[in-house]
Structure 1
Amino acid sequence: MKRKKNIAIVAHDNRKKDIMEWVSFNWKELAQHDLICTGTTGKMVEEALAESCHKHGTVPPTVTRLKSGPLGGDQQLGAMICEGNIDMLIFFWDPMQPQPHDVDVKALLRITVLYNIPTASNRSTADFMVTSELFHEQYDPIIKDYREYIARDVNMA
């Protein structure tokens, strides 16, 4: 994981206000990295960062917008994690509202664990992540070696 990180930001509809408040509060830290967002969240993140950066005379960071989560954005992020193109995930998901793409959300969260990607699912954890000494430093996460699992003998009887 390099110093300038690729940070994925996602929020369910009922958490978009929370993520916008968080992005606006942490704009200075986020502006030093590249951001990848799903659908509407990406548009809102771009607007929040543009406003904050404009007020302070700085250039907003690059925001790459993927498809909306239910339209495949969560799967796009999962693929990017597998390819080593995402360094951390900030995902404010709604624990009280079932989502039409719950299986995709679960798959995305599983991939973050599999590839040892730092993941925040709420504001407290996200705050701890962006204030960590490691946030702007080179960091090499330890990834479990799954070769033995892949080479296992599977009995297809």
Structure 2
Amino acid sequence: MNIALIAHDKKKDDLVRFSVAYQPLFQKHNLFATGTTGLRISEATGLTIHRFRSGPLGGDQEVGAMIAKNQMDAIFFFRDPLTSQPHEPDVSALVRLCDVYSIPLATNMGTAEILIRGIERGDLDWRKITGESSGTE
């Protein structure tokens, strides 16, 4: 599966801890992340991660382009709901694309726990069966 890892500044520590906890599962998949988030996760876990630009510089849109081309299977985007984001329209567009293309999106630790366990169990295999998956693992 192709999985994106994104976090706003005040949520990066949470996503790094989450990635460390689930490193054995994440290593089985193709990982993508926005700038600093990807660097921090890679340094903490040793995982290979394709890094896009930072979110405000277009990284969110690069992930969105992969969604639109059916090249993304799940997204972990730890958002900070209490801080205004200068690139909020890009964030909203990414969330909208997930809804349009039925891409599972976890925006907080609680939902991330459910999504990662679902990936582990094979709950997203329907994307492969129906041909809606990127087909890469």
Q: Report the TM range for the smaller structure's normalisation.
A: 0.7 to 0.9
Seq. identity, %: 40
Secondary structure of the structure 2 residue equivalent to 1:8: strand
Query: CA–CA distance in 1 between the matches of 2:11 and 2:127?
Result: 30
- Aligned-residue CA RMSD (Å): 1.5
| Deviation of the 1:74 alpha carbon | 0.5
SS of 1:100 mapped into structure 2: coil
Q: 1:80-105 CA distances to partner (integer Å, 9 max, x unpaired)?
A: 10011110000001000000000000
TM-score after normalising by structure 1: 0.77
Q: Which residue of 2 aligns with 1:107?
A: 93
- State the match for 2:36 in structure 1: 40
1:82 to 2:78 alignment: no
**Corresponding position: 1:24 with 2:10:** no
Aligned letter for 2:25?
E
Distance 2:25 2:126 in 1: 17
More helix per residue: 1 or 2? 2
The alignment of Structure 1 onto Structure 2 pairs a total of residues equal to 127
Q: Who wins on radius of gyration, i.e. which is larger?
A: 1
Distance 1:129 1:49 in 2: 20
TM-score by length of 2: 0.88
Q: Helix, strand or coil for the counterpart of 1:140? A: helix
